[in-house]
Structure 1
C-alpha cells in the first residue's frame, strides 16, 4: 500500500512560530481569519490532514488565510498546486519539480532553514528532500549521517554566532527526523530518535539563550527525553536532566538541585565528563541554597574526580559525539569559580576566573562571553566596580553582536549590582552601552 509523506514543511513552519500543537495552530488560524473577515472555523481533523500530506490544494478561503498567516506561498508550505491539464509537459519538468521542492523545504518554510543551506552539500540536499517525500524508501543510515553532520554544524554556528543563526537549521533537521522516523526500519529509526534527542536538547538550549518563553525550552527538553527513552538511551535522558538544571531560573535553586541530583542518581550511568558537569551543577545549586562552602567544595571534589576518570578526547567535540565531549578541566574550573561566587566568596571566584580565562582558544565566543560576564559580576561583588565595568564592557563586545542571551542576562545582573556606582565613568559607560543593546 502506498505511504503518504508527512507535510514536513508545514509542520516545521508551525513549530518555528511556537505553535507546538495542532490546537495552537487552529487557534492562531481562527484569530487571523477573523481579522481578515474570512471563515474562521477550522477543525483539528483538517489541520491533521494538511500536515499528513493527504490533503490536496486548500480551498480559496483557506489559501488566503494560510498565505497571510505564514507569509509564504502555499507551495513553500508543502502544498501542491493541481496540475493544469492544458499546460505543456516539457522535458526536464520532473527535475525542475525536484529542485523546487528542495528549495521550498530548505529555504522557504517561513525561514525555518533560511541561511542554513551551507549545512548541506548538494547530495545531502537531494537525499533529505527525497526522504521527506518517500520516508519508507529513504530512511536509511546515509540520511542519518547527513542529518548528524548538519546538526553538528548548527551547534558550531551557535557557539560562534549565537542562537538566532542556529535555531532555524536545527528546527528543520528535527522536522526531517520526525518525518522519516515514522516509516524507517527499526535499526534506522533508533538512530534517528537518538539523533533527534540530541537535536531537541540543542533546540531547548537555543530557545533558552534566545530569550524564548520558558514553556518553549520545556517543550524541547520534554521532546528530547521522550526520544531518548524511545531510543533506549539512558545516558542521554540523564544529560537532558542536567540541561534542565542549567535552564532553571535563579529564583528556584531547590528545583535546580533536584534536576542535577536526578541526573547522577537515576537508573542510568552518565559517562565521566557529563557526570562531572552534573556534579558541578549540583554544587552550584547547593551554594545558591545557602549551604556552607565546605559542602560545596565536597561536591566539587567529586566533580574533579569524575573528570579525572574521563579518557582523553580522540577528536574535536561535537553535538552528536560523546556526551559532554566539550567538558574540559578549564570549563570545570571557571564553573567552580561561579560556585564560589554563588557561595558568597567573590574574591576566591575572581582568582579562579583570572587564572583559567586567560587561554582564549579554550572557549567558544558564546562561552567566553558568558564566563567573562560572570567574572565582571564577581568583581562587582568583591567591591571592584571599575574593574567590573571594564570586564563587563569586554563581555558585552563579544555578546552584543550575536545576541548571546545568557551572557546578556548576566551582564544585566552586573549592571544592577553596579547601580550604586553610577558616578564612576567606566560604570556609566558600561550601563549606557548595555542600555543600547
Structure 2
C-alpha cells in the first residue's frame, strides 16, 4: 500500500490539476502564496500529507485564506469538511437532485460511467468501493475496470490534464477497498491497482510532472503487482520505466528494458516485442551501429510473430500489450534508426506506416513529431517544418506533453534554418503555445 492513505483525493486531484505534482511542489507554492498575502504561517510536507489523508478535517483560519487564494474555490470542494456541518448539503437545497444525478452516472444507478467522471461522481464511486461488501464482487470489479478503461481511452483524445483527477479518484477507491477486503478480492484489486498506477505514471509524465512523481507511481505499480503475484505486470512496468527514461540516460534505459525481458517472469509476446524494441532504441542512443540495432529489432519482430490476434479492442485492463501492433513496431523502429543516425531510412519507414489509421490522436502526434525530426536529419527542412506543424495541430489542444517535447527538439534542430517561411511559422506557433 502507499506510504500514506489518500482519503482526501479531491485535494490531491485539485493540486495536480494546477501543476503541483508533488507534495513538495505544493508546500513551496503555499509558502509563496502566504508571503504574498502577508500571512506568517508556513506548512511542511507533513501537513500536506495530513490534509491528503483526511487527518486534518478543517484547516485553521490562516490556512483557509491561503488555500482559497490558491484554488479559488470553496474548501468543501477540496474535500475538507466543517466539523459542525458534516452533512455537506449545499445551501441551495439541491442535495437530493445532485444525489440522483450522481446515481445516474455511476454503477449503482441505471447508466454506465462517462469517460471522464466529475468530482461528485467519483465521490460516489469511492463511497461505493468503501462499502464493497454491500454490492456484488463482480459488479464492483467490473465497474472499476470499465471506469479505468474509459479514463485511458479519454487520455488519447483529451490529454493527461483532463484525465488525471479521474485516475487518482479510481486509485483512491481501489486502495481504500483493498485495505479491508478479503484475500481473493484484495488480490483482484491489487492487480487492477497496478494497471491504474502505471496509467497514473504515464499521465504524470505526459502532463510534464517532475521525475519523482512519475517514479512514485511506477514504484506503486510494481509494489501492487508484486503483492498480487503478477510477474508479467512487474516486468511491464520495468518496460514503461525504460520508456520514461530520458535520452541522456541511455545506459539506464537499456538496463531497464533488458530487465523486462530477462527477469524471473515471462512477458507475453506483444509486450516482449515492445521491450526488445526499447532495447534497440537504447542501444542506438549508446552509440551502437545500425546493424546491431537491426538485429535486436529482428528479435522484436520474431516475438510479435508469436502473438495471437487480439480478442477485441485493446484496453487498459485487458491483456498486457494488446495495443502493440505491427504498425506501432514499425514506427518505433523508425525512431530507433533516427537515433542511430539513419535518418533517411527512418523517413522511409515513417512515410509508409504513419499513413495508416492505426494510431490514436496522441500517438499520431508523438510519432509525427519524431517524423519531423527525422526529416531534418535527412535534409528535408521545409518538409520537416510542415510535418511539425501537423503534429503541433494534433498535440496543442490536449497538450500531449511527450509530443510537444519532441517538437521542441525538432525546433532546436531547425534553428539554423529559422529564416525559411515554413520553419519560421512552426517555431512561432510552438513558441506561442509554450506559456499557455
In structure 2, relative to structure 1, the CA distance for the partners of 1:101 and 1:237 (3 Å cut) is farther
Please list the CA deviations of residues 116-154 of structure 1 after superposition, one character each: whole Å capped at 9, or x if unmatched: 965459x98686143366466569442222221111111
Counterparts in 2 of 1:424 and 1:193: CA distance versus 1, 3 Å: same
Give, in angstroms, the shift of residue 175 of structure 1.
1.9
Matches within 5 A, 1:29-178: 40=41, 53=54, 60=61, 63-68=64-69, 70-82=71-83, 96=96, 99=99, 118-119=115-116, 128-131=125-128, 134=131, 137=134, 140-178=137-175
Is structure 2 residue 192 aligned with structure 1 residue 195? yes
Who is 1:303 aligned against?
A: 300
Q: Report the Cα distance in structure 1 between the residues aligned to 2:343 and 2:85, rounded to whole angstroms.
A: 72
Residues of 1 paired with 2:329 and 2:31: CA distance? 50
Instruction: Map 1:399-418 onto structure 2 (within 5 A).
Output: 399-418=395-414
Residue number in structure 2 paired with 1:425 = 421
Instruction: Return closer, same or farther for 1:74/1:333 CA change in 2, 3 Å cut-off.
Output: same
Change (3 A) 1:214 1:100: farther
Tell me if structure 2 keeps the 8 A contact 1:135–1:179.
no
**1:343 matches 2:343:** no
- Distance in 2 (alpha carbons) for counterparts of 1:71 and 1:357: 43
Q: CA deviation at 1:27?
A: 6.9
Q: Which of these residues, 377, 382, 387, is aligned with residue 381 of structure 1?
A: 377
| Distance in 2, Cα, partners of 1:49 & 1:394 | 46
> Given the two structures, how large is their TM-score scaled by the length of structure 1?
0.83
The offset of 1:161, in angstroms, is 2.5
- Unpaired runs of 5+ in structure 1? 107-115
1:391 paired to 2:391: no
Distance 1:274 1:61, change over 3 A: same
Q: 1:208 aligns with which of 205, 209, 214?
A: 205
Larger radius of gyration between Structure 1 and Structure 2:
1
CA deviation profile, 1:162-183 (whole Å, cap 9, x unmatched)? 2122222112212222222222
TM-score by length of 2: 0.83
**1:22-62 per-position Cα deviation (integer Å, ceiling 9, x unaligned):** x8777766776666566737788877766555666555555
Structure 1's 397 and 421: CA in aligned 2 closer, same or farther, altered over 3 A?
A: same
> How big is each residue's C-alpha offset from its partner over 1:323-353, in whole Å with a ceiling of 9 and x where there is no partner?
1110000000111111111111111111111
Selected match of 1:222 from 219, 222, 237: 219
Q: 1:258 to 1:6 in 2, by over 3 A?
A: same
Distance 1:376 1:26 in 2: 40
Residues 5 and 132 in structure 1, CA contact (< 8 A), matched pair in contact too: no
- 1:278 counterpart = 2:275: yes
> Do 1:101 and 1:129's aligned partners in 2 also have CA atoms closer than 8 Å?
no
Once residues 421 and 39 of structure 1 are traced to their aligned partners in structure 2, the CA distance between those partners, rounded to angstroms, is 52
Q: Quote the Cα distance in structure 1 between the aligned partners of 2:49 and 2:209.
A: 26
Aligned to 1:268: 265
Cα separation, 2, equivalents of 1:139 and 1:297: 51
How many residue pairs get aligned? The number is: 416
Distance in 1, matches of 2:421 and 2:297, equals 38
